[in-house]
């Protein structure tokens, strides 16, 4: 009798897990680095790269906005994060002097550079105009 209850509890838990919508990697940002950078911007039509560092407070303010937009624009805009402390090659190539900096690539070409932290209502139109 106890075993039946335990099995039923496990079964119900598994059903709840299976019914929960799955978050795919396309629903959030991707981590980028010096090795994957060129391939990522080349393979995707519109890519927004968040250049950041762990010690940067304004970067941490922008991070949840990037996460939200990655979910909201999944399939239309790919959002990536690039730690400039760990990936100096790309940071130097694109002359990243201030962070956060968002690099916007369309069909592999840099089309915009957005510097500084700002609320979503200001940031979103600057990105979506490239759709």
Dump strand ranges (E) for the chain.
30-32, 46-52, 78-83, 101-106, 109-115
Catalytic residue among 46, 48, 49, 59: 59
Does residue 51 have an active-site annotation?
A: no
Return the half-sphere exposure (C-beta side, CA atoms, 13 A cut-off) of residue 39.
7
Catalytic residue among 56, 65, 91, 102: 56
Q: What are the angstrom distances between the C-alpha of 34 and each of 9, 31, 46, 127?
A: 47, 11, 19, 23
Positions marked catalytic: 56, 59
């Amino acid at each position: 009798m106890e075993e039946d209850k335990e099995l039923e509890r496990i079964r119900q838990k598994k059903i709840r897990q299976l019914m929960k919508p799955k978050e795919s990697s396309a629903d959030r940002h991707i981590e980028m680095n010096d090795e994957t950078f060129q391939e990522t911007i080349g393979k995707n039509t519109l890519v927004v790269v968040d250049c950041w560092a762990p010690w940067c407070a304004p970067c941490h303010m922008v991070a949840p906005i990037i996460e939200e937009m990655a979910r909201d624009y999944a399939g239309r805009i790919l959002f990536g994060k690039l730690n400039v402390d760990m990936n100096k090659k790309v940071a130097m190539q694109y002359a990243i002097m201030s962070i956060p900096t968002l690099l916007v690539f369309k069909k592999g070409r840099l089309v915009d550079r957005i510097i500084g932290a700002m609320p979503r209502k200001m940031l979103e139109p600057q990105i979506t105009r490239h759709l």
